[in-house]
Structure 1
Amino acid sequence: MHVRARRYLALLAALAPVARGVASSSPVGAGASTQAREALRRRNLAIISHPDAGKTTLTEKLLLYGGAINQAGAVKAKGEQRRATSDFMELEQQRGISISSTVLAYEYQGYKTLILDTPGHQDFSEDTYRTLAAADNAVMLIDGAKGLEPQTRKLFEVARLRRLPIFTFVNKLDRPSLSPLQICDQIEAEFGIRCCPVLWPIGSGDRFKGVLDRRTSVVHLFARGARGAIAETVAELPLNSAELREMLNDDELHAQLLEDAEILDELAPPLDLAAIASGDITPVFFGSAMSNFGVQLFLNAFMQLGLPPAARAVEDGGAGAAADFENGAIEAGTRVVQPTHAEFSGFVFKLQANLDPRHRDRMAFVRVCSGTFEPGLRVKHSRLKGKELTLSQVQSISGNERTTLDEACYPGDVIGINNPAGTFAIGDTIYTGSERISYSKIPSFSPEVFALCTNPSPSKYKQFAKGLEQLLDEGAVQRLRERGDMDGGAGAAPILAAVGPLQFEVVQSRLQSEYGVDVTLERLPFAAARWALAGWGAVEQATADGKLLGVRKLEDTWGRPVLLFPSEWKLNSVLADCTTLLQLRPYAVAPDIEERRRK
Structure 2
Amino acid sequence: MTDIAPAPPSAPPARISTEAGRRRTFAVISHPDAGKSTLTEALALHARVITEAGAVHGKAGRRSTVSDWMEMEKARGISITSTVLQFPYRDCVINLLDTPGHADFSEDTYRVLTAVDCAVMLIDAAKGLEPQTLKLFQVCKHRGIPIITVINKWDRPGRHALELIDEIQTRIGLKPTPLTWPVGIAGDFKGVLDRRGGQFIRFTRTAGGATAAPEEHIPADAAHAAAGDDWDTAVEESELLSADDGDYDRDAFLAGTASPTLFTSAALNFGVNQLLDVLVELAPSPSGAQDVDGERRAPDAPFSAFVFKVQAGMDTAHRDRIAYARVVSGTFERGDVLTHAATGKPFVTKYAQSVFGQQRSTLDDAWPGDVIGLANAQALRPGDTLYRDVPVQFPPIPSFSPEHFAVARGTDPSKHKQFRRGIEQLEQEGVVQVLRSDKRGEQAPVFAAVGPMQFEVAVHRMAAEFNTPIALESLPYQVARTVDPADAEFMNKQVSAEVLTRSDGVMLVLFSTPWRLEGFQRDNPDIELGSLVAA
Report the TM-score, using the length of structure 1 for normalisation: 0.84
Q: Distance in 2 between matches of 1:216 and 1:351?
A: 43
Cα shift at 1:574: 3.2
Give me the identity figure in percent. Answer: 43
Cα shift at 1:575: 3.8
Contact 2:64 2:77 in 1 (8 A): no
Equivalent residue in structure 2 for 1:256, among 205, 230, 233: 233
Q: Which residue in the other structure is 1:20 paired with?
A: none
Residue 125 to residue 396, structure 1, CA distance change in 2 (3 Å):
same
Q: Which residue in the other structure is 1:387 paired with?
A: 345
Q: Which residue in the other structure is 2:385 paired with?
A: 429
Contact 2:482 2:531 in 1 (8 A): yes
Residue 439 to residue 260, structure 1, CA distance change in 2 (3 Å):
same
Q: Does 1:293 align with 2:242?
A: no
Q: Which residue in the other structure is 2:131 paired with?
A: 150
Equivalent residue in structure 2 for 1:474, among 429, 451, 472: 429
1:401-433 alpha-carbon deviations (Å, 9 max, x no partner): 11222x221000011113453x11110111112
Q: Distance in 2 between matches of 1:54 and 1:469?
A: 34
Q: Distance in 2 between matches of 1:338 and 1:537?
A: 41
Q: What does 1:95-494 align with in structure 2 at a 5 Å threshold?
A: 95-227=76-208, 228-233=210-215, 235-239=216-220, 241=221, 243-248=222-227, 250-251=228-229, 253-316=230-293, 334-341=294-301, 343-384=302-343, 386-405=344-363, 407-421=364-378, 423-434=379-390, 436-483=391-438, 488-489=441-442, 492-494=443-445
Equivalent residue in structure 2 for 1:562, among 508, 513, 521: 508
Superposition RMSD on alpha carbons, in Å? 2.1
Q: What does 1:564-579 align with in structure 2 at a 5 Å threshold?
A: 564-578=510-524
Equivalent residue in structure 2 for 1:582, among 520, 528, 531: 528
**Pairs aligned (count):** 523
Q: Which residue in the other structure is 1:528 paired with?
A: 479
In structure 2, stretches of 5+ residues that fail to align are 5-11
Cα shift at 1:500: 0.4
Cα shift at 1:269: 3.8
Contact 2:43 2:272 in 1 (8 A): yes
Equivalent residue in structure 2 for 1:552, among 498, 512, 533: 498
Q: Distance in 1 between matches of 2:514 and 2:439?
A: 27
1:159-194 alpha-carbon deviations (Å, 9 max, x no partner): 111100100000000011111111111111111121
Contact 1:289 1:295 in 2 (8 A): yes
Report the TM-score, using the length of structure 2 for normalisation: 0.93
Contact 2:151 2:261 in 1 (8 A): yes
Cα shift at 1:85: 0.5
Q: Which residue in the other structure is 1:18 paired with?
A: none
Contact 1:76 1:94 in 2 (8 A): no
Cα shift at 1:78: 5.6
Residue 553 to residue 77, structure 1, CA distance change in 2 (3 Å):
farther
Secondary structure of the 2:396 match is coil
Q: Distance in 2 between matches of 1:575 and 1:432?
A: 46
Secondary structure of the 1:349 match is strand
Q: Which residue in the other structure is 1:537 paired with?
A: 486
Cα shift at 1:126: 0.6
Q: Which residue in the other structure is 2:459 paired with?
A: 508
Q: Which residue in the other structure is 1:9 paired with?
A: none
Residue 484 to residue 459, structure 1, CA distance change in 2 (3 Å):
closer
Q: Distance in 1 between matches of 2:252 and 2:466?
A: 50
Q: Distance in 2 between matches of 1:542 and 1:521?
A: 25
Contact 1:530 1:587 in 2 (8 A): no
Structure 1 runs of 4+ aligned residues shifted over 6 Å read: none
